[in-house]
Amino acid sequence: MLRRANYRGRPVAFPLGALLLGAALAALAVSPSRWLVFLVGVAALGLIDDLVDGPPRGWRGHARALSRGELSTGALKAGGTLALAAYAAAGAGLDGAAYAAEVGVLSLSAHAGNLLDTRPGRSEKGLALAAAVACAGAASLSPMKPIAPLLGPVVLGLWLTLRERAMLGDSGAGMIGGMAGICLVTAFGAPAIYAVLATLIAISLYGEFRSISAAVERLPLLQRLDSLGRSS
């Protein structure tokens, strides 16, 4: 792996998502599923973004690049993630608004994973929260089943990120966000999935125009949860 300065300027291994992609590929080879195809694809698209790592950033930046006839890696990642989400959601046999909502939740969850990845462990904690909500909504652990093969690698990665030894990169954060989306869509049906989609849209818009880190630091409870487990 490469090395890159983290949010405090410390050089750490990057991108950890490349190893998570390897784990997802191994899981896919052993037990193929549409969910693992989705996660492998999201991680691979993120890895391209990690390795190129050029401007522009954010939806507005990608839109401006497209308007100039330029295809940014971020635009490629967004379009590819949407296509992968459409493929994964098609396996549920949904149609109409329910199908569109599931595609939206899967796509925006992967995006939210990237938005959260500005501090160590934040994306993983987002996955833990989404999984807890999903399991509570389903009154069982069944939403965890599709992502179970990847939980061990994610926990190991969390140990590394919290100790500032590695950074997820878009490849890892997007995959972890995608895992959260899978938990949510397998736990809920309409109308709950519409509420989940609305929440993710709000988070995405906020992250585009405002700082999520600043919002976390303004709320003492979120700030404590956010710093939990970090080396300092």
Q: At what angle do helices 169-187 and 17-30 cross, to 10 degrees?
A: 50
Range of the domain at 96: 15-227
Residue 8 lies inside a defined structural domain of this protein: no
Q: Please give the average per-residue pLDDT across 61-67, as a whole number.
A: 58
Residue 119 lies inside a defined structural domain of this protein: yes
Residue 3 lies inside a defined structural domain of this protein: no
Residue 232 lies inside a defined structural domain of this protein: no
143 CA to centre of own chain: 16
Distances in Å between the alpha carbon of 219 and those of 147, 209, 210, 212, 222? 31, 19, 15, 11, 5
Count of structural domains, the chain = 1
CA distance 115 to 58: 10
Tokens in use for 131? 């999984």
CA distance 110 to 182: 10
Give the pLDDT confidence of 103-153 residue by residue, as tens digits.
Answer: 999 999 999 999 999 999 999 999 999 999 999 999 999 999 999 999 999
